[in-house]
Structure 1
Amino acid sequence: MMTMKNIINKLLSLSLISMLLIGFTSCEDDMDVEPNDPNAFLDDEFYSQPGAYQSAIAGVYANLTLTGIRGSGSSNIQGLDAGTSQYGRSLMNLQTISTDEAIWTYENDPGIREIQRKTWSSVNPILLGSFSRIMASVAFANEFLRQSTDDLLNQRNVPQDERAEIALYRAEAKFLRALAYYHLLDLFGKAPLYDETITVGSFQGEELNRQALFEHVETELLEVLDDMAAPRTVEFGRADQGTALMVLAKLYLNAEVYTGSPRYDDAMTYIEQLLNSGYTLANDYRNNFRGDNSTNEATSEIIFGIPSNFEESRSFGPVVVMTNGGVGSIEENNEDFGLFNPGWGGAIRLTPQFVEKFDGPEFENDVRNTILSEGRTREITDVSNPDEGFVLIKYTNIRSDGTNPEYDTFTDTAFPMFRLADVYLMYAEAHLRGGGGNISQAVSLINELRTRANGATINQSDLTLDFVLDERARELYWESHRRQDLIRFGKFSGGEYIWAFKGGSASGIPTNSIRNLYPIPAQSLSTNQNLSQNPGY
Structure 2
Amino acid sequence: MIFWPLNYKYMKTIKNKFLILIACFLILGCNEDSFLEEIPKDFLSPEIAYVTVNDFDAAVLNLYAQVRNEFYTSDNQNSFPAISWDGTDMVYAHKNFGTRPDWGGSLLLPTNTSLVYEAMWRPAYRIIYDVNVIIGRSEGPQSQLTAEQKKRVQAEAAFFRGFMYKMLANLYGDVPIVLEEVTSPRRDFVRSSREEVYRQSAADLLLAAQELPDVDDVDNSRINKLAAYHLLSEVYISLGKWQEAVNAASQVIDHPQTALMTERFGSMVDHPTFGGDVYWDLFRQGNQNRMSGNTEAIWVLQYEFNVPGGNDGFQLERTVIPRLWQAKIANNDGSVHPLIPYPNTNYYGRGSGFMSPTRYLYDNIWRKSGYDQDMRNSEYNIVRDFIVNNPSSDHNGKWVFKDNVPIALSSVNDTTRNFFPVFAKASVVGQHPTELYHNDQTVPGSLTNSAQRTFRDRYAIRLAETYLLRAEAYLGMGDKENAAADVNTVRNRAQAPVINPADLDIDYLLDERLRELHYESFRLLTLTRLGKLVEWTKAKNPWVGELYQAHNNLWPIPFNEIEKNIEADLGQNPGY
Deviation per CA, 1:4-28: give whole Å up to 9, x if none.
Answer: xxxxxxxxxxxxxxxxxxxxxxxxx
Equivalent of residue 108 in structure 2, options 93, 96, 120? 120
1:458-488 CA-partner distances (Å, limit 9, x unpaired): 4445544433222111011122342344456
Contact 1:314 1:410 in 2 (8 A): no
Contact preservation (8 Å) 2:170, 2:525:
yes
Q: How does 1:342-491 map to 2 (within 5 A)?
A: 342-344=350-352, 346-355=353-362, 356-359=364-367, 362-364=370-372, 366-369=374-377, 370-374=381-385, 385-387=416-418, 389-397=420-428, 404-406=432-434, 407=436, 408-434=451-477, 436=479, 439=481, 441-487=482-528, 491=532
Deviation at 1:122, TM superposition (A): 1.3
Q: Which SS does the other structure have where 1:250 is aligned? A: helix
1:525 aligns with 2:546: no
Q: 3-state SS of the aligned residue for 1:65?
A: helix
Using the TM superposition, give the Cα deviation of residue 515 of structure 1 relative to its aligned residue in structure 2, in angstroms: 0.8
CA deviation digits over 1:179-209, x for unaligned, max 9? 1111100011132222235444456433223
How large is the RMSD of aligned CA atoms in angstroms? 3.6
Query: How far apart in 2 are the matches of 1:311 and 1:522?
Result: 39
Separation in structure 2 between the aligned mates of residue 411 and residue 523 of structure 1, nearest angstrom: 35
Q: Identify if the C-alpha distance between structure 1 residues 220 and 366 changes in structure 2 by more than 3 Å, giving closer, same or farther.
A: same
> Which residue pairs with 1:291 in the alignment?
285
Instruction: Label 1:250 to 1:498 Cα distance change in 2 as closer, same or farther (>3 A).
Output: same
Deviation of 1:173 (Å): 0.6
CA gap of 1:410–1:286, structure 2 versus 1, over 3 A, is: same
- How far apart, CA to CA, are the structure 2 residues paired with 1:145 and 1:343? 42
Matches within 5 A, 1:498-513: 498-502=539-543, 504=544, 508-509=545-546, 511-513=548-550
Would the aligned equivalents of 2:373 and 2:496 in 1 still touch at CA under 8 Å? yes
Shift of the alpha carbon at 1:534? 0.8
Residues 422 and 252 of structure 1, relative CA distance in 2, 3 Å threshold: same
Partner Cα separation in structure 1 for residue 198 and residue 368 of structure 2? 40
Distance apart, 1:351 and its partner CA = 1.0
> Quick one: distance in 2 between partners of 1:175 and 1:290?
28
Q: What letter is aligned with 2:514?
A: A
- TM-score, length-normalised on structure 2? 0.69
Residue 303 of structure 2 contacts residue 312 of structure 2 at CA under 8 Å; is this kept in 1?
no
Q: Is the 8 A contact 2:322 2:420 kept in 1?
A: no
Give the CA deviation at 1:152.
2.0
Q: 1:410 to 1:199 in 2, by over 3 A?
A: same
| Counterpart among 196, 201, 206 of residue 190 in structure 2 | 206
Q: State the secondary structure of the residue aligned to 1:242.
A: helix
Tell me which residue corresponds to 2:241.
Answer: 263
5+ residue gaps, structure 2: 1-41, 263-277, 328-338, 386-399, 402-406, 437-450
Identity %: 22
- Tell me the SS of whatever aligns to 1:226: helix
Corresponding residue for residue 241 of structure 1: 225
Greater CA drift, 236-245 or 286-295: 286-295
Q: Report the alpha carbon displacement of residue 171 of structure 1 after superposing the two structures with TM.
A: 0.9
Q: Aligned pair 1:320/2:315, yes or no?
A: yes
Distance 2:507 2:128 in 1: 36
In structure 2, the residue matched to 1:279 is 258
SS in 1 for 2:129: helix
Letter in 2 for 1:533: Q
- Give the corresponding residue for 1:311: 306
* Helix, strand or coil at the partner of 1:153: coil
- Pick closer, same or farther for the CA change 1:525–1:127 going to 2, 3 Å: same
Q: Which residue of 1 aligns with 2:170?
A: 186
- Deviation track 1:381-439 (CA, whole Å, cap 9, x = no partner) reads 958942465442222335xxx75533533444233222210121223332233255x61
- State the match for 1:12 in structure 2: none
Match status 1:335 vs 2:363: no
Q: Does 1:151 align with 2:141?
A: yes
Q: 1:103 to 1:416 in 2, by over 3 A?
A: same
- Letter matched to residue 309 of structure 1: E
SS at match of 1:349: strand
Task: Tell me how many residue pairs correspond in the alignment.
Answer: 455
8 Å CA contact 1:144–1:170 kept in 2: the answer is yes
In 1: Cα distance, 2:246 partner to 2:102 partner: 36
The residue type paired with residue 348 of structure 1 is M
Cα distance in 2 for partners of 1:364, 1:41 equals: 61
Task: State yes or no: 1:302 paired with 2:291.
Answer: no
The equivalences for 1:15-94 within 5 A come to 41-47=44-50, 51-66=54-69, 83=76, 89-90=79-80, 92-94=81-83
Tell me, what secondary structure is at the counterpart of 2:282?
Answer: helix
Find the residue that maps to 1:429 and give its secondary structure.
helix
1:193 aligned counterpart, secondary structure: coil
Question: What TM-score do the two structures reach when normalised by structure 1?
Answer: 0.74
Q: Secondary structure at the match of 2:101?
A: helix
Task: Give distance in 1, aligned partners of 2:246 and 2:64.
Answer: 29
The amino acid that maps onto 2:94 is T
Q: Report the CA distance shift for 1:492/1:43 in structure 2 as closer, same or farther (over 3 A).
A: closer
What displacement does 1:227 show? Answer: 2.1
Q: Which of 127, 132, 140 is 2:130 aligned to?
A: 140
Report the residue type matching 1:136 in the other structure.
R
* Worse overlay, 473-482 or 214-223: 214-223
**How far apart are the structure 2 equivalents of 1:285 and 1:167?**
38
Which structure: larger Rg? Answer: 2
1:29 maps to none
Paired residue for 2:32?
Answer: none
Q: For residues 370 and 49 of structure 2, what CA distance do their matches in structure 1 show?
A: 59
- 1:221 maps to 2:249: no
2:563 corresponds to 1:535: no
Secondary structure of the residue aligned to 2:474 is helix
SS of corresponding position for 1:132: helix
Shift of 1:360: 6.7
8 Å Cα contact 2:104/2:547 also seen in 1: no
Structure 1 unmatched runs, 5+: 1-38, 73-80, 256-261
Letter in 1 for 2:213: A
1:240-283 Cα distance to aligned partner (Å, 9 max, x none) = 2212211121112233xxxxxx3333322222222223321133
Pair 1:265–1:337, CA change in 2 (3 A):
farther
Are residues 500 and 142 of structure 1, via their aligned partners in 2, closer, same or farther at CA, if it must alter by over 3 Å?
Answer: same
| Structure 1 letter corresponding to 2:63 | V
CA drift at 1:517? 0.3
- Measured in 2, the distance between the counterparts of 1:112 and 1:131 equals 25
Q: Could you tell me which residue of structure 1 aligns to residue 9 of structure 2? A: none
Pair 1:101-2:132 in alignment:
no
Query: Which amino acid is the alignment partner of residue 163 of structure 2?
Result: L
In structure 1, how many angstroms separate the alpha carbons of the residues matched to 2:551 and 2:421? 30
Deviation of 1:151 (Å): 2.4
The one-letter code of the counterpart of 2:251 is Q
Change (3 A) 1:147 1:95: same
